[in-house]
Amino acid sequence: MSDKWTELDVPQQRDRVAVVTGANTGLGFETARVLAERGASVVLAVRDIEKGKQAAARIAAQAPGADLAIQRLDLTSLDAIRAAAAELHSRYPKIDLLINNAGVMTPPKRTTRDGFELQFGVNHLGHFALTGLLLDRMLPVPGSRVVTVSSVAHRVRAGIRFEDLQWERSYDRVAAYGQSKLANLLFTYELQRRLAPLGSTVAVAAHPGVAATELVRNLPAPVRVVLPAIMPLFFQAPARGALPTLRAATDPAVLGGQYYGPDGWRENRGYPRLVTSSDQSHDQAVQRRLWDVSEQLTGVTYPID
């Protein structure tokens, strides 16, 4: 295998069940497409069923005979997450891959239905709850993986603002996004530490670099104006941006607790490789504290605790 790992390096996934959140567009779509092409049974977990159907049709056109299913998943509602998890439980006796990909980036201040700041609620708490509710379907499966998509933006200076997690005192959309992406890594590392004694399921993280996806729609207006000119220079296509996630999910050499991203300058673009995350993402006291707070806020406890 060369250093330039591509989707052609994804091994066969036949007889594996993969749940991909946010699979109707961007990185999630490309991740689902490749897994389906390699023979996995892929569940597109999406908020909008019609968009999910359209995405499934596009994948099926490229991979005739692909085994695809659509699951409604609204990560802005804990009740909806519980309902989705219950439906997945009834349909799948085992899950091999859970890819926590869906996310929102730098929106104006909004909250989830449960009152959480939108980015923290969707990007971290929603996936924390979903993973906890599906983990019992993964624990008996050798080689199963939870892959959570973070970002270079996790290197936020403020860290996790435990004193104001929901940004009720003031709101900085960029810093709030960074907090949610740092939370993705803290969650991955803490989850892996708790999974390690069991020896079956592992937790891994990835980031896409700077990818041209729909997430850029909430960037400041002046930035959006110049995006068409700078995208070819600084952004990589979603298919390339999905490669770190795919490697984290399928490379047989991957170990629990690893983090994958592009190999280029500042990890903005390139081929996927093992990368390092910030020092604060490895702070075990912060990892444990965030875990405890996440359990309290979501009401979800893990079957490994």
Q: What is the CATH number of the domain that holds 187?
A: 3.40.50.720
Position 214 scores a pLDDT of 55
Residue 44, pLDDT > 70, answer yes
Residue 201 lies in a domain: yes
Find the mean pLDDT for residues 245-251: 98
Find the mean pLDDT for residues 17-21: 98
Residue 155, pLDDT > 50, answer yes
Residue 156 lies in a domain: yes
Structure tokens at 54: 């359209």
Percent of the chain with pLDDT over 70: 91
Position 156 scores a pLDDT of 83
Position 157 scores a pLDDT of 81
Position 1 scores a pLDDT of 43
Residue 66 lies in a domain: yes
Show Cβ contacts of residue 177 under 8 Å, excluding neighbours closer than 6 positions. Answer: 105, 106, 119, 123, 151, 153
Residue 161, pLDDT > 60, answer yes
Residue 4 lies in a domain: no
Residue 132 lies in a domain: yes
Domains held by the chain: number: 1
216-240, pLDDT tens digit by residue?
Answer: 555 555 554 544 454 454 578 999 9
Residue 76 lies in a domain: yes
Q: How many CB atoms are located within 10 Å of the residue 95 CB?
A: 24
Task: Enter the pTM of the model.
Answer: 0.93
Question: Rounded distance, CA 127 to CA 135, Å?
Answer: 12
Question: Rounded distance, CA 69 to CA 253, Å?
Answer: 28
Residue 215, pLDDT > 90, answer no
Mind telling me the catalytic residues? Answer: 177
Residue 305 lies in a domain: no
Domain membership of residue 243 as a residue range: 14-298
The mean pLDDT of the chain is 93
259-296, pLDDT tens digit by residue?
Answer: 999 998 888 989 999 999 999 999 999 999 999 999 99
Residue 95, pLDDT > 90, answer yes
Residue 101, pLDDT > 80, answer yes
Residue 196 lies in a domain: yes
8 confidence band (pLDDT: 50, 70, 90): very high
194-212, pLDDT tens digit by residue?
Answer: 999 999 999 999 999 986 6
